[in-house]
Structure 1
Amino acid sequence: MKKFKYIAASSLKQAESALSNTGKDKPAKLLAGGTDLLGVLKDKVHPESPGTIVDIKSVPELSYIRSDGKGLRIGAMTRLQEIASSEEIKENYRLLALAARSVASPQIRNMATLGGNICQEPRCWYYRAPDNRFHCLRKGGTKCSAVLGENRYHSIFGGIWAGSPSCTHTCPGNVEIPEYMRAMRSGETRAAATTVLLNNPMPALTGRVCPHYCESACNRGGFDESVSIRNVERFLGDYILAHSAQFMKSPQKQSAKSVAIVGSGPAGLSAAYYLRVRGYKVTVFDKMPEAGGMLTYCIPGYRLPKDVVRKQIKAYEKMGIKFVLNARIGEKGLTLRDLRNKFNSVFLATGTWEQKSLRLEKSDLLTSGMEFLTHIERNRQHYAGSTVLVIGGGNVAIDVAISALRIGAREVTMVCLEDRKTMPAFPEEIDQALHEGVKVMNSLGPHKIMESNGRLTGIEFAACTRVFDEQGRFNPEFDMSKSTIVQADKIILAIGQSAELAYAGKSIKLDRGLIKIHPETAATSMAGVFAGGDATSGPSSVIAAAASGRRAATSIDAFLSGGKNKTGPVEKTVYRDGFLETNNRCYDRTERVKPECVQTSCKSLDAEDTSTLDSQSVDSEIQRCLNCGCVAVNASDIAPALIALDAVIRTTKKKVNAEDFFSIGKALDSDEIVTEIEIPAQRKKNSQHYIKFRIRNSMDFPIVSLASVLSSDKGVFTRTKIILNAIAPIPLRMTAVEKYLTGKEATEAVAQEAGEIAARDAKPLSGNKYKIQIMKALIKKAILEAGD
């Protein structure tokens, strides 16, 4: 157990103060009984141990049992044994006494408190594993190991969204992938499309070129194969483009304010879309004759067809976004200051178009990779039959190498500083290049450019022994005694790009050749001017640039509205109402769906290598999504009893009824303390039950428990309240059963049907279907006993 500061609070005020004054990195924890917390600390269940323990066991005003004509009041530090043995509670609030008496053993009940029981942490063994072995969703992780693991004691009614699952967490755009997968499984394709567009305005494009970090992090990957998220997104993106009039409408509410976007790449287009959705007049300026930036000019057509980009641009135009092309910012009449004077705000998304150069003699003879890709059509004849050398190991270098082969180069060789494992290109891109015949030479750096009569003949390379120094800075070292000559008649340089920022002048502060922005607002040093995309971060992915534009749009909206509009697309979802759907078909081991690929011999520069999945294949793939959420159950014995008794829970900050207190996402603040439980006086003729199914009569937590208050008149139920626990992440009120029972007698048939109704929405995991039968049995028992 790690050291901590111990504070024995003598008053509630002192305890509140102690909780409020602890640091965020080392928060304080309350000691309310000790039966739970001490084990958590000893086993190091959490990533960080608390720096302070505030003991409130001795706070006098928190331990009492008081009753009057209105009902019962119990202090939060009242011990469970006192509650179980109280004559007042046993006579008038029998349900609560039964629940308290069912907790653990007499020794533990003598220590455990009412407040501690209802605020206990999840009892899931993955959550409780020593040394935080499973960093689960509830503790800030991205995975619930119980979904595909040992889950016999977990929820049979689905999970809760306790934090961003791994796919959403790793997506630069924070796209809520499980949610749109769920909508598609329910046949709600339009809802799925709307969900995607909240965070990604170009899924037809990212569905083709995204590096799909989400798939690498997919929790299913450790079970069989990750879900083919990018291909599903591509299908959905094509659906959106085919129905763009439904999803990309001109806003009903128009603003008189206008925004200039400089650059029509993914960051600029994204910002333009989200600003237009908010009603602003948006004009996009671009230096090229066609909009789309690198989407149009630098990503080869076999990866991203130009007609798909054009359809996306057309959809934006129909929303009312205006494009001004062949417009180079910085020229007379179109300076940054001119734009700022004409528009209410400006967003700079000019990308990184300038090729980085080599510091070698005659490097001016080398062809820029960006230049090669931009003007590839006119290069077809020029490169036919040639021997091509590509210098660089990133994705641009891969695109250049494959494109050179596809326009007729006889042989293409890539040479880079990095070894194969550390090449910056995506692994699947490297594999494709090798498959198509590109030769890759690693750990070599250019030393001398060779030429004869003004014509390139090759480059001499030296062995690269190190790319980065001990501080992680780019600082390659070479072994000049080991050299290699690679002959070629065409040499293309693709070692990275930099930003062209001459237009910024002195008005915009730069940092290492990039536009300096506020990390949260994307604001530049010039008032009213914001920036994003590669011009601020350096070369990145399409989805990262689009996310940058979306965040900037939110900041621009706040700026133009005077701070009134502060809400934007969801960055991170922590809790939601309702349970997550459990898809039973996801538990079977299956292979991911693979799109049809064109044979290597038939591949071209312009036609896509892969096709969009058909609807049948998409349906098969979306069934594989685990819809990751937390499936741990609420194990408190007292919680369902308080809900059944219509209790109200008081804290140092609020007063809330028990059902709301235990609902999804209703957590206490870090400095909030439960102080008292209020229970209204109960009807004399009601039947109160607490039934707990467990393996052992002492010690064990419930596998299923039931708390009920059933009122009847002449053998007919008039008012019923039934709460089941340990079957869902929260105590679950059986409202459909309650409605069914009203006006009925406690017969065998009625009790049987009530159990069937309760189980109607159950969706058990792979190992806990048996809980359904227990649940039915407890309901039946409670109903029949109430009728006796």
Structure 2
Amino acid sequence: MIPALLFMLGIGALCGIVLSLSSKIFYVYEDPRIALVENNLAGANCGGCGYAGCSAAAEAIVNGIEPPSLCVVSGKEDVEKVARIMGVDAGSAESPLSYNMCEGGFRADDKYHYMGISSCKAMAAMYGGKRVCGVGCIGLGDCVKACQFDAVKLGPKGFPVVDDNKCVGCGACQQACPKDIIQVNTLSEKLMEFNQLHAPLAPCAQTCPAEINIPRYINQIKEGKYKEAVQTIRLRNPLPLACGRVCPHPCEDMCRRGIEDEPVSINQLKRFAADYEMNSGSRIPITCAPDTGKKVAVIGGGPAGLSCAFFLRRLGHEVNIFEAMPKLGGMIRYGIPEYRLPKKVLDWEIQGILDLGIKSFCNVKFGVDFGLGSLMASGYNAVFLGVGAWEDYTLGIEGENMDGCFTGINFLQRIAGGEKIKLGKTAAVVGGGNTAVDCARTLLRLGLEKVYMVYRRTRKEMPANEVEIVASEEEGIEFVFLAAPTRVVGDDNNKVTQLEYLQMQLGEPDASGRRRPEPIEGSETLLDVDMIISAIGQAPETSFKELDPHTRMKELEITRWNTIDNDPATLQASIPYIFTGGDSATGASLVVEAIGGGRRAARSIDLHLKGEPVEPVPNSLQKKHIPESIFSKVDGIKKSPRAKMPEIHVDQRLDSMIEVDLVLPEEQALKESERCLNCCRICYNPDTDFPMAKAN
């Protein structure tokens, strides 16, 4: 017995010695933080993070390969605990979420009928799937089966619906979808999403220069989700209040309902949603990505600059705006009269942008008060040039410098700034665009007895918004068509007394498609006026290039149209860290064009700041249309009247700058939203049970 015990003790001692020696020789150290980190992960071992389980994920975090926010299932508190273990700042990392781009579902007809196939991926491999729409949802729910968190359901209308509260952004649904219509994106990725040729887009959304998802926000209004409608608009456009008042709504020209009926009043609905927020007494919160430590200077506080600054800040970059005028707003403050866009409305909207943490410096002119060198020395990583188009074109005729002659933008700017200008009693405004109309209608409100609009073509060719032309006619402005000014006549005191013009006739169409005006010899006519405003267009003012002493500024290329030369797809200028947008890039254009340009420039600046190649959006539409979405016939439409915009009566509006156009009442807005067919690429909701229309 005793020998046996001694023998066992001896074996035990020997094993202990061997193990002790082995531990010294084959010792493997494991960082204790790995276990601590793993204990604070979700423990789901879902693989959504890209690693084979939570242990592997914890090891990647400890080794510095991944951030503390790696786990797609963990909540904010868990991320903060992991960050504390690692001794780093958790930040406010963006959570990716799944969302479905296609809302076609059962609205899309079947092209093929398959037997025995229950998988989207398998069906897509067989002639692209069963739907008529080549890019739409097949609807068999591969994404639903792939989701381990019960966050994706196949909705009653035949397309997947995502529950944001359950979605962890693991990406399984996106990997399962053969059509790429269900995606997992962060907020930043959504903000920088642009219209592409393969996307499921309605014709109106394809046409919008700001690329707003128009059917979605109108459908949200229809459902009474006004807050959500504003958020949908702001994913693309930070100035819905201004746009809802001044945009000429090119989207409505492509409204599918307009083929058989009247287009949906898209812009009025945008204004309804935006005004709802402003009048609600509180702002809808706007979220931003974590700070990146990068710094951008935005030169020019107009719609392009404000848009660029808004999206850059939401992407997490520090942004400062530098503006030459006393207040931000650019052309929408100083070039659009109070009766169209009240300053208090504009102030409210701009303040919401600044509240994101954007600083602004007014009354400082680029090239005079500061330059490129001082910006670079101050640590800016990129510059956006959105200096606008403030240089009025002149008529180039004898006498246009007489007392009583003005140029359009200069005149509107001085009025907006509160300057007292010596006015006459009778005026001629030369031009047919929105600036000319704004000048003419402003003159009436300033008390002039008679205002003429002199235009070298006919009413049909006027580029001004139709609603503005109609309002001018209602207010008593007299149009003088087919008239080309040739000379300003004045008295002995060099004061305007008459405008001489030559009568014209229309010839063949020019490059713009409008018939070219041709003079009628010997048709000189005198118009008795004591004030003349030429509003025939404007160009960017680029004197900053010559005024700035920084040698690098010599590399900035300017076009023969005095615009900043740029790559139209990326808006990058000839100096790699300078980008541009708005009128300074395109020449005088629409406010909504400037907004779209500001967002596109923000995408390029973001790429530049991250050290990635500044490349165009792949297959970007950029004003092009998807051929199959352009119908010539739309079945199943019951005609219904378009909402008429409420406005102040003429008798009540000419003695002040009171806002003329009013917002739709809620009842009318809801009724108008019901007129929307909620179109997608080829799908839409007919008013009856007619079969879906096909492109003809």
Instruction: Report if TM-score (shorter chain) is over 0.5.
Output: yes
Cα distance change of structure 1 residues 116 and 591 upon mapping to structure 2, 3 Å threshold: closer
Distance in 1 (alpha carbons) for counterparts of 2:397 and 2:386: 31
SS of match in other structure, 1:483: strand
Cα distance change of structure 1 residues 207 and 432 upon mapping to structure 2, 3 Å threshold: same
2:524 corresponds in structure 1 to: 483
> What's the CA shift for 1:190?
2.6
> What's the CA shift for 1:375?
1.8
Q: Deviations over 1:35-72 (max 9, x none)?
A: xxxxxxxxxxxxxxxxxxxxxxxxxxxxxxxxxxxxxx
Of the three residues 596, 610, 616, the one matched with 2:646 is 596
2:480 corresponds in structure 1 to: 441
Distance in 2 (alpha carbons) for counterparts of 1:601 and 1:401: 17
1:314 corresponds in structure 2 to: 351
Q: Which one is further off, 261-270 or 470-479?
A: 470-479
Distance in 1 (alpha carbons) for counterparts of 2:637 and 2:510: 45
SS of match in other structure, 2:235: helix
Q: Which one is further off, 157-166 or 613-622?
A: 157-166
Cα distance change of structure 1 residues 324 and 481 upon mapping to structure 2, 3 Å threshold: same
Equivalent position amino acid for 2:688 in 1: S
> What's the CA shift for 1:220?
1.3
Cα distance change of structure 1 residues 380 and 601 upon mapping to structure 2, 3 Å threshold: farther
> What's the CA shift for 1:449?
1.3
Of the three residues 580, 586, 609, the one matched with 1:537 is 586
Of the three residues 394, 408, 411, the one matched with 1:372 is 411
Contact kept, 8 Å, 1:157 with 1:764, in 2: the verdict is: no
> What's the CA shift for 1:627?
0.5
Distance in 1 (alpha carbons) for counterparts of 2:407 and 2:686: 58
> What's the CA shift for 1:767?
3.0
SS of match in other structure, 2:555: coil
2:677 is aligned with 1:626? yes
> What's the CA shift for 1:567?
11
Question: Structure 2 matches for 1:167-566, cutoff 5 A?
Answer: 167-241=204-278, 247=284, 249=286, 251=288, 253-332=290-369, 334-342=370-378, 343-365=380-402, 366-376=405-415, 382-383=422-423, 386-453=425-492, 454-465=494-505, 477-505=518-546, 506-512=554-560, 513-563=562-612
Cα distance change of structure 1 residues 251 and 765 upon mapping to structure 2, 3 Å threshold: closer
> What's the CA shift for 1:618?
1.6
Q: Return the TM-score normalized by structure 2.
A: 0.65
2:45 corresponds in structure 1 to: none
Structure 1, unaligned stretches of length 5 or more? 1-92, 100-113, 125-136, 141-155, 575-585, 633-728, 730-762, 770-788
Equivalent position amino acid for 1:338 in 2: S
Q: Deviations over 1:251-304 (max 9, x none)?
A: 351122111111111001000100010111111111111111111111011111
Contact kept, 8 Å, 2:436 with 2:536, in 1: the verdict is: yes
> What's the CA shift for 1:550?
0.5
Q: Deviations over 1:688-729 (max 9, x none)?
A: xxxxxxxxxxxxxxxxxxxxxxxxxxxxxxxxxxxxxxxxx9
**Greater RCO, 1 or 2 (C-alpha within 8 Å, sep 6+):** 1
Q: Deviations over 1:78-121 (max 9, x none)?
A: xxxxxxxxxxxxxxx9x769x9xxxxxxxxxxxxxx99994289
Contact kept, 8 Å, 1:258 with 1:281, in 2: the verdict is: yes
Equivalent position amino acid for 1:407 in 2: L
Contact kept, 8 Å, 1:174 with 1:571, in 2: the verdict is: no
Q: Which one is further off, 480-489 or 409-418?
A: 480-489
Cα distance change of structure 1 residues 765 and 467 upon mapping to structure 2, 3 Å threshold: closer
Q: Return the TM-score normalized by structure 1.
A: 0.57
Equivalent position amino acid for 2:354 in 1: E
Cα distance change of structure 1 residues 210 and 283 upon mapping to structure 2, 3 Å threshold: same
SS of match in other structure, 1:563: coil
Distance in 1 (alpha carbons) for counterparts of 2:159 and 2:679: 8
Aligned-CA RMSD value: 3.6
Distance in 1 (alpha carbons) for counterparts of 2:581 and 2:415: 28
Contact kept, 8 Å, 2:261 with 2:637, in 1: the verdict is: no
Q: Which one is further off, 403-412 or 223-232?
A: 223-232
2:689 corresponds in structure 1 to: 767
Contact kept, 8 Å, 2:637 with 2:688, in 1: the verdict is: yes
Which one has the bigger strand percentage?
A: 1
Q: Deviations over 1:291-341 (max 9, x none)?
A: 111111110111111101101111112111111000011115x01332244
Contact kept, 8 Å, 1:208 with 1:304, in 2: the verdict is: yes
SS of match in other structure, 1:181: helix
> What's the CA shift for 1:491?
0.7
Cα distance change of structure 1 residues 557 and 567 upon mapping to structure 2, 3 Å threshold: farther
> What's the CA shift for 1:373?
0.8
Percent of paired sites with the same residue: 34
